[in-house]
Amino acid sequence: MIENLELLIDVCLLTFLLLIVFAAIKTTNLFVATMLFGIFSFVTALLFLDLDAVDVAFTEAAVGAGFTTVLMLSALRLTGAFENVKHRHSVLGLFIVVLTGAALIYGVADFPNMGDANAPVHLHIAPEYIQLTQEKIDIPNVVTAVLASFRGYDTFGETVVIFSAGAAVLLLLGMGHAEPKHEPEQNLVLWVVVKPFIALILIFGLYVQFHGDFGAGGGFQAGVIFASGFILYSLVFGESYARQVVPASILPRFAALGVIIYGLTGLVSLLSDKTFLDYNALSSNPVSGQHLGILLVEAGVGLAVFSTVLLIFYSFSGVNHNE
Amino acid sequence: MNELLGHVNYWIVIFLMMMGLYMVIASSNLIKKLIGISVFQASVFILYITFGKITEGSPPIITDNTDVYSNPLPHVLILTAIVVGVATTSVGLALIVRIQEAYGSLDEDDIHDINDNDDFDIKSRSIT
């Protein structure tokens, strides 16, 4: 019964997604397309929740639905491209798309059924990760254990990619500066409602950061949630105030510091004759070594993601160049 | 019947993917192209998470009352991919903002026309 219900929800949400994307293709208004994409992200997050991927759903809700929408709206403000765009019908494009789609449909015919416990993907390494997490790392959230410990190399790479993306945006747009005269309309209701909200968002961010070992969450989600607290402050109270609380100039340093914390944790293991990012070197007790290693690495990720996200927001929302 | 229901996720994901691809091909506006790429990317995420699902499984957080967990590995890959995805999308948006500053348009056809015009000097238009 329950699995039928899961499948029903799954198919309903996927149908929603199809309708949303269809509407996004049809619309000629960029503002509408952006908002539709925000809704698309939210529905995707629900779908991930239905498919048991709680950590992924969390990330999609914070990143996709929250930050990406704000970012796209900021970009629209900079380009001033709210007006209608012309839609061109491409017969050749449609032909290519249908052909590729047909080839892919043919390709998935061999795939095992969804939810099949004996599918090849479930037989190779996932059972070992689940078992080793209980034996060697002793934290409940397997996703955090794989992310920060078993596959620490990958995550280090991803953190460096995020840092590089922040650097690229900084090179392209600069840090900008807040326009002193331009302050949002003073709206008493917004002020009163938002003030306690910001405190709650920041506390929630910290909870997600440090509770990631036990439940859904971790450095990636916490970094984005923490940054969104400051983004909300900036949107409601004006960017010049937000830049007084967290100056843009320290953010690149924080982002670099996050990557360095991650890298140094790995180097400590190297210096004690273990392999890079082998947390057993961090403590005489291997399990507490793993706990300490995951805590440090997640802190590095959280700091790097928070700084990069806020820096990207400042770059897009600030006054740049000689506009 | 089982075969049909077991593959419906894959089919819808491919539909989504192709709609994203069509957006990239058919719209001449750069921001809409970027939204198309993001839709394509999100459908790949859904495909991976679908692989990880086990019927009657529970989320991969160890508890005493279950022993079937969905596969955590796709979750890890996609979790980081989402954050990296937004970082790369922001680089794309930054490039679009600079293109708008240099060309005064976000329409691919307009940009091609301006480039074909010999009088146009990109260096004089770009802002330092």
CATH code where residue B73 lies: 1.10.287.3510
What pLDDT, on a 0 to 100 scale, did the predictor assign at position A319?
Answer: 67
Which residues numbered 28-67 in B keep a CB inside 8 Å of some CB on A? Answer: 28-29, 31-32, 35, 38-39, 42, 45-46, 49-63
Count how many pairs of residues, chain A against chain B, have C-beta atoms within 8 Å: 301
Q: How far is B121 from chain A (nearest CA, A)?
A: 19
- Check whether A212 has a pLDDT greater than 80: yes
Q: How far is B110 from chain A (nearest CA, A)?
A: 12
A303 touches B at CB < 8 Å:
no
Over residues A203-232, mean pLDDT: 91
Interchain CB distance below 8 Å, B39 and A100: no
Q: Where does residue A193 rank: exposed (0-12), middle (13-18), buried (19+ CB within 10 A)?
A: exposed
Q: Provide the residue type at A251 as one letter.
A: L
pTM: 0.90
What pLDDT, on a 0 to 100 scale, did the predictor assign at position B72?
Answer: 92
Percent of chain A with pLDDT over 90: 46
B122 touches A at CB < 8 Å:
no
- Which of B7, B19, B32 faces A33 most closely, judged by CB atoms? B32
Which residues numbered 19-48 in A keep a CB inside 8 Å of some CB on B? Answer: 21-22, 24-25, 30, 33-34, 37, 40-41, 44, 47-48
B6 touches A at CB < 8 Å:
yes
ipTM of the complex: 0.90
A310 touches B at CB < 8 Å:
no
Which residues numbered 216-275 in A keep a CB inside 8 Å of some CB on B? Answer: 216, 218, 220, 224
Please report the DSSP string for chain B in residue order. -HHHHHHHHHHHHHHHHHHHHHHHHHB-BHHHHHHHHHHHHHHHHHHHHHHH-BTT-B-SB--TT---B--HHHHHHHHHHHHHHHHHHHHHHHHHHHHHHHHS--BHHHHHHHHHSTT--HHHHS--
Structural domain count of chain B? 1
B57: which chain A residues are within 8 Å (Cβ-Cβ)?
A: 52, 115, 117
What pLDDT, on a 0 to 100 scale, did the predictor assign at position B102?
Answer: 86
User: B interface mutation test: which of A20, A43, A142, A319 has the most B CBs within 10 A?
Assistant: A142
What pLDDT, on a 0 to 100 scale, did the predictor assign at position A181?
Answer: 59
What pLDDT, on a 0 to 100 scale, did the predictor assign at position A323?
Answer: 45
A280 touches B at CB < 8 Å:
no
User: A interface mutation test: which of B34, B43, B53, B67 has the most A CBs within 10 A?
Assistant: B53
pLDDT digits (tens, 9 = 90+) for B10-57: 999 999 999 999 999 988 889 999 999 999 999 999 999 999 988 888
A40: which chain B residues are within 8 Å (Cβ-Cβ)?
A: 39, 42
pLDDT digits (tens, 9 = 90+) for A82-107: 666 666 777 898 999 999 999 999 99
A5 touches B at CB < 8 Å:
no
- Check whether A184 has a pLDDT greater than 70: no
- Which of A55, A97, A224 faces B25 most closely, judged by CB atoms? A97
Per-residue pLDDT band for A191 (boundaries 50, 70, 90) equals: confident
Per-residue pLDDT band for A5 (boundaries 50, 70, 90) equals: confident
What pLDDT, on a 0 to 100 scale, did the predictor assign at position A103?
Answer: 95
CA–CA dist A179, A168 (Å, integer):
23
pLDDT digits (tens, 9 = 90+) for B78-121: 998 998 899 899 999 999 999 988 888 888 888 888 888 766 66
pLDDT digits (tens, 9 = 90+) for A38-64: 999 999 999 999 999 999 999 999 888
- Which of B14, B53, B60 faces A130 most closely, judged by CB atoms? B60
B28: which chain A residues are within 8 Å (Cβ-Cβ)?
A: 85-86, 88
Interchain CB distance below 8 Å, A93 and B97: no
Domain that holds residue B35: 2-125
What pLDDT, on a 0 to 100 scale, did the predictor assign at position B3?
Answer: 66
Q: How far is B126 from chain A (nearest CA, A)?
A: 11
In contact, A255 and A308? CB cutoff 8 Å: yes
pLDDT digits (tens, 9 = 90+) for A155-183: 999 999 999 999 999 999 888 777 665 66
Interchain CB distance below 8 Å, B75 and A22: no
What pLDDT, on a 0 to 100 scale, did the predictor assign at position A322?
Answer: 43
CA–CA dist B9, A119 (Å, integer):
15
